[in-house]
Amino acid sequence: MTTIKHAVRRTPARRIALVGAVAAAGLVLAACSNSDDNTSGMDHGSKPSATATQGAGANPAPGAFGDADVLFAQMMIPHHEQAVAMAELADGRAGDAEIKALAGDIEKAQGPEIREMKSWLKAWGKPVSGGSMPGMHHGSHSMDSSGMSGMMSDKDMKELKAVKGKDFDRKFAQMMIAHHNGAIDMARNEQKNGKNATAKKLAEDVVKNQSTEVKKMNKILDRI
The reported pLDDT for the residue numbered 94 is 98
Mean pLDDT of 130-140: 41
Q: How confident is the model at residue 143 (pLDDT cuts 50, 70, 90)?
A: very low
Q: Where are the beta strands (DSSP E) in the chain?
A: none
The reported pLDDT for the residue numbered 7 is 40
Helix (H) or strand (E) holding 221: helix 197-223
Distance CA 144, CA 138 (A): 10
Helix (H) or strand (E) holding 9: helix 2-44
Percent of the chain as helix, strand, coil, to the nearest 5: 75, 0, 25
Work out the mean pLDDT of the chain and round it to a whole number: 78
In one-letter notation, the amino acid at residue 22 is V
The reported pLDDT for the residue numbered 126 is 97
Mean pLDDT of 134-152: 54
Q: Where are the beta strands (DSSP E) in 69-137?
A: none
Q: Which pLDDT tens digit goes with each residue over 48-78?
A: 333 233 345 689 999 999 999 999 999 999 9
Q: Which pLDDT tens digit goes with each residue over 87-124?
A: 999 999 999 999 999 999 999 999 999 999 999 999 99
Position 157 pLDDT exceeds 70: yes
The distance between the two most distant Cα atoms of the chain, rounded to a whole number of Å, is: 125
The DSSP secondary-structure symbol of 94 reads: B
The reported pLDDT for the residue numbered 129 is 84
Distance CA 74, CA 94 (A): 30
